[in-house]
Every structure is written in C-alpha cells, then in structure tokens.
Amino acid sequence: MTDGYGIDNLPYGVFSTADGGPRVGVRYGDQVLDLAGALGDPAFAAPSLNPFMAQGRARWTEVRAQVADVLTGGRAALRPLSDVRMHLPFEVSDYVDFYASEEHATNLGRMFRPDSEPLLPNWKHLPVGYHGRSGTVVPSGTGIVRPSGQRRPPGQDVPDHGPSRRLDVEVEVGFVVGTPSPLGTPVPTGAFADHVFGVCLVNDWSARDVQAWEYVPLGPFLGKSFATSISPWVVPLEALAGARVPTPPQSPAPLPYLREDDPWGLDLSLSLSLNGQTVSRPPYASMYWSPAQMLAHMTVNGASLRTGDLYASGTVSGPAAGQRGSFIELTWGGKEPLKLADGSTRTFLEDGDEVTIGGTALAGRVSLGEVTGRVLPAVPS
C-alpha cells in the first residue's frame, strides 16, 4: 500500500540512518529511496535539497521520470521509513508569509474592526504579506517553546512582559523556490512553475497577544518570528498538476502584473488536529490569491529569488465554522471556547498540547504529509 505516496506523488526529503549522514531521498509508500545511491548524482549526497533544486525545471522533470522508472522496474534499494530520521528538507534562504485567504482576513477584520469594513482597502488589490525570519523555520516534530514578549491585556494602560497567553497556530501551505532570479528582474505569473520546485505544509505559530500590541504600524515581528514548522516532505509541483483549479472570482480585476492566463489555484484538502482530535478541515481551493500571484508580487519591485526561498499562503480558512485554520477564528478571539472530546476546552494552546496539520490532493492519491509540533513551557526570564 502506498497511501498517498505512490508514483503520482514521489516527494523529496532529507533523511539520515544509523550508517549514514543526511542525504536526499524520495518517499514511496512507507519506504525511502536513497537517491545518491540510486541515481549517482552527487547533488543527492548533500544534506539539503538546495543543490538539486538549483539545477532547474528540466532537471526536476528528468529526475522524476528516472525515479519512477527505478521504482516501477523493481531495481530500487528501499529503506523502511521506520529506520530513518527526517531533517529540515532544504536550507531556507528567505521566508515570506502572505495573507491570501479572504475568509481568514474577513474573520479577523470582523473581530478587530467590528464597526468598519472587514477588509482593508488594499486587500483585493495585492497579496498582503510580511518578511519573516528564515532562521527559525524548523522541521516537523520540533518542540515549540512558548514565546515571551510584551503584552497589553484589555483594560490595562501599559504593557507588561511575560509568556504569551494566546499562543495560536496557522494552517498554511508553503511554496519552495528552486530556481533563482536576478536582482532587479520581476518574475511574471507565467514563470511560476519555472521557479517553484514544490509544496510543503506550514504551521506559522503565532503569539496573538504579542502580535496585537506590536504590529502597528509595521506589522508582525516577535509574535511570529519565534518558530515556523514545516513538513519533512516537499511534494513536487508536477505532482499537483491535476489539482489545479481556477482561483475564486477576483474583483476588482488585478493589475496586469498579477493577472494569470492559466490560474494556479490548487484544490488541496487540509486538516488541523489538536492532541489527536481533528478540529478543522480548511479547503485551500477557496484561497483568493494564487501562489503564482504571490510570487509575482513578491518580486515586482525587483527583489531577487534564491534557491531555498520559502513563501507561505497565510492561514487557510473556508466559509464554514469547521473550516477555520486558526484558534483565534475557531474560538472567535477566545469568546467561544472549543469543546474537545475529552470534555476539556481550549481558547488558545496550553503547554503540552500537540498540533498536527495534514493535507492531501487528488482525492487522497497525493499526500502532503503532516507537520507536527508540541508546545513546551516558556523559558524563565
């Protein structure tokens, strides 16, 4: 049984074993193909995907066909997944996080600006985003220490300092850049597949109380930069070709540099679980801005791409209550606690909580894997 990891998928990751250091592999069912041994390219002996991703789209396509041939020809030396340790799959060069879900942006606008329009005037004209911190992107399974920072609780005139009381998650999809671009040269929407190697799952951990106090006027900073978790397997963009769908109608029409002749919306089914219980199923197909539009906006000022750049979609949320991709939405800012099967409730995360984000495409034929993290107590200051 391949269970979402068959020939249709063939995701890439970095693994190590008791007899060898980190190198590149492809997951096939519950096994891993060691690419350095199978194909002989020294790029696969590296402890990250970066050397391979830098080879470009034609090479990605060639290797995918070679891997499929090796696997279907019965010539593969496979290692059980249970015998390997997974690592961060690529060296993260830069990290950008967007805010591309209309439902998520609308929900937060209604919470924070109840007497105003929920969407700010720029939202439907450009993919809003912020530049994050690449050095705190961590692999799935890494414990997340509860962050501390300045907070100003309701009714308090001055801020205090301490552990976040409103620790949250964000269900997101990440896009991994393989082919760089020159400084000063924008990347058009039509060149998306020439630059983006693949897709991973992202949990953009968020300290909502720290974020609320600090984000005016320059946006997210310490409330976001303490940790971002990603899944261990990067699904090649080619594996998701059959999951492409149109983006929702965009009105007003985007400016010319954001228009797509062949839109890159994606029909992905996501899930959010807390301590083993699924609490939400966000649908990626409803995302207003596509990843090609995000890439075009990210580079329209001439900013260059580097191999290993990661950019994420922002929280994925759907129109129904059970499709919201963060606890701030699921509990409506903490006013409507989430009831769990064991009788407990949550507004935001408690120490010891374990969060898992999962995803599939093409009716489960392609698995996006999972990204998991457990909340650890704050470090005393």
Catalytic residue among 104, 125, 195, 297: 104
- What pLDDT score was predicted for residue 381? 78
Write the DSSP symbol of residue 301. T
Average pLDDT, the chain: 97
Report phi then psi at 106, rounded to 5.
Answer: -70, -45
58-111 pLDDT per residue, tens = 999 999 999 999 999 877 789 999 999 999 999 999 999 999 999 999 999 999
Say what percent of the chain tops pLDDT 70.
Answer: 100
Number of neighbours of residue 160 by Cβ within 10 angstroms: 10
- What pLDDT score was predicted for residue 154? 87
Number of neighbours of residue 185 by Cβ within 10 angstroms: 11
195 catalytic per annotation: no
190-241 pLDDT per residue, tens = 999 999 999 999 999 999 999 999 999 999 999 999 999 999 999 999 999 9
The tokens describing 355, both together, are 């969060």
Model-level pTM greater than 0.75?
Answer: yes
Report phi then psi at 36, rounded to 5.
Answer: -60, -40
Is residue 49 scored above 60 in pLDDT?
Answer: yes
Please report the domains of the chain, with CATH numbers, ordered by start residue.
Answer: 12-86 (2.30.30.230), 95-376 (3.90.850.10)
- What pLDDT score was predicted for residue 141? 98
Of 358, 274, 287, 365, the residue nearest 319 (C-alpha): 287
Amino acid making up residue 238: E
**In the structure, what pLDDT confidence band is assigned to residue 2 with cuts at 50, 70 and 90?**
confident
Is residue 1 scored above 80 in pLDDT?
Answer: no
